[in-house]
Copies of this chain bind each other. A is one copy, B any other.
Amino acid sequence: MRKVFDKELAMLNTRLIEMGDLCVEGIDMAIEVLFNRENIESKVQLIHTVERDTDRKERDIEDLCVNMILRQQPVAKDLRIISAALRMIADMERIGDQVADIADIAQKLESGEIFNLDTHIKDMANEVKGMVTNSIEAFVNKDVKMATDVVANDERVDQLFVQIKSELLRVLYQDISKGQIVLDILMVAKYFERIGDHATNVAQWVEYTYE
């Protein structure tokens, strides 16, 4: 019985890593559509495909978890891992949603507009991507220290959001005709901030599971 359970735990681990990889892939593509507008239509389509893959992966992992609980009657520590897995996938699924939201906004932006704005949006995007990557890696390596660093990093992302908001206000005051793009980029920044929050949640589930 224990042997079967360990095998299923290993499978759960693999599935979670695959889902995490999908999230990072999605963020990479979101950054790509924001800052490189070649073949933008097909890139946005690809992002929506990745989002659907993420949703499907979530349901697969959910089924696996429920079956593990039902058939194996796990003890406290194992149940803890399964509960954490169920919560992590909910956060990863949201990351997929936010990425798709960013892609939809990016698609509507005028070509090149974002480059003319003096904001830290690209830094924020990269910072958040690092958090997601590291939260998954912390999980894979059961690295509580790395998870704690991700949690701490969220403050930097929150600061970047506040900074970008001031930068966008400054852009507005200099050129009122930029109203539309300012509101759009503010939304993009908000989505990245939310992705940072979800990465933080994932990291906190790693702490909860392995500390």
- Total interface residues on A, CB under 8 Å, equals 22
Looking at chain A's contact residues, the main secondary structure is helix
Question: In the complex the two chains form, is B183's CB within 8 Å of A169's CB?
Answer: yes
How many monomers of this protein are in the complex?
2
Stretch at the interface among A6-14, A118-126, A139-147, A171-179: A171-179
Tell me, in angstroms, the Cα distance from A60 to B190 when the chains sit together. Answer: 31
Q: Which of A146-187 contact B (CB under 8 A)?
A: 165, 168-169, 172-173, 176, 179-180, 182-183, 186-187
Chain A to chain B contacts (Cβ below 8 Å), 9 pairs: A62-B83, A70-B73, A70-B79, A165-B183, A168-B183, A172-B179, A183-B183, A186-B186, A190-B190
| Chain A contacts to B: CB under 8 angstroms | 62, 66, 69-70, 73, 79, 83, 86, 90, 165, 168-169, 172-173, 176, 179-180, 182-183, 186-187, 190
